[in-house]
Every structure is written in C-alpha cells, then in structure tokens.
Amino acid sequence: MSIASLGEEIKKRTVIVHGVAKSYAMTGWRIGFAAGPEEVIAAMSNIQSQSTSNPNSIAQKASIEGSHGFQDEVMKMVSAFAERRAYIVDRLNTIPGCVMLQPVRGLLRLSELLFHLWQIVSGAADWNSTGLANYLLDAARVAVVPGIDGAR
C-alpha cells in the first residue's frame, strides 16, 4: 500500500521513486521511474536530463518484461533471501551481548552488534552513532554515515 492511497491531499504531496535493480536482479542497468504531481515530475525530468544519459533500449525492454512478466523467479529470489536472512540473524544472535531482531524486508540492523564491538575494542562508554562513525574512520579507515547529524 502506498501512502498516496490515504487521500487526495496526501496524494498531491507524494512522490514515489522505484527501480528494477533489486527486484529483478538488474543492478547496473540504471532503470527506474518516479510518479507524483506533474509539476514535481517535470522539474525532476529537467534536472535529470542534464545530469545523466538515457538508458539503453535493451535495459528498457528487459525492465518492462521484468515488471510485467511472470514473477516466478522473483518469488524464488525472495524465498532464498528470506532463508539467508534467517540464517544470518540466528548466527548473530549466538554472539554474547548481541540481540538481533528479525529485520523487515531485506535489511539487517547491525547497530547493537556494532556498538557492542565498539565498546569492547575502544572502551567507549557512550553509545552514539557519531562516536561509532568517528571510531571506524580513525581505526579502520572505514567511512559510514551516522544515524544523527553532527558527524565530522
């Protein structure tokens, strides 16, 4: 269900952006779409036309077939990813001090695990995403985006 289905007023303020990369295993093909108020889409089109080129015709035809064709392969992928997710969550929950909840869709929230490991390694007492991001940058040269504003 889309938020736009909640009523005309919210529909006028909603922009939906979607792509086929994940759903149809078409990463790198750069095919997507946006739907929303005409003036917003027109402005997006003006900006996009100056910053990227058009997708090739093969990618366009493949994305149409992917989104309108049989979805059997998509269901197989969804099932395989669900099995993998369950396995990862189960394994992470065996780590002392790590509590992983069953994630929604394909996303894993690793914040508790990362903060636990960060405390062990750094001896830090405060748990915040900016501190963790700075620690990872300094200690491992890994850049991540903290969950709050204010990171360096």
Say how many C-beta atoms besides its own lie within 10 A of residue 115's C-beta. 19
* Residue pLDDT, tens place only, 69-111: 888 888 898 899 889 888 988 887 887 767 776 766 555 556 6
Q: Same domain for 53 and 77? A: no
Residue 149 in any domain: the answer is no
Assign 3-class secondary structure to the chain: CCHHHHCHHHHCCCCEEEECCCCCCCCCCCCEEEECCHHHHHHHHHHHHHHCCCCCHHHHHHHHHHHHCCCHHHHHHHHHHHHHHHHHHHHHCCCCCCCCCCCCCCCCCCHHHHHHHHHHHHCCCCCCHHHHHHHHHHHHCCCCCCCCCCCC
Residue 15 in any domain: the answer is yes
What total of structural domains would you count in the chain?
2
**pLDDT the model gives residue 22:** 81
State which of 52, 68, 84 marks the end of a domain.
68
Instruction: Give the separation between CA 85 and CA 97, rounded to whole angstroms.
Output: 20
Q: Which domain holds residue 56?
A: 3-68
**pLDDT the model gives residue 37:** 93
User: Which residues of the chain, if any, have pLDDT below 50?
Assistant: 150-152
pTM of the complete model:
0.48
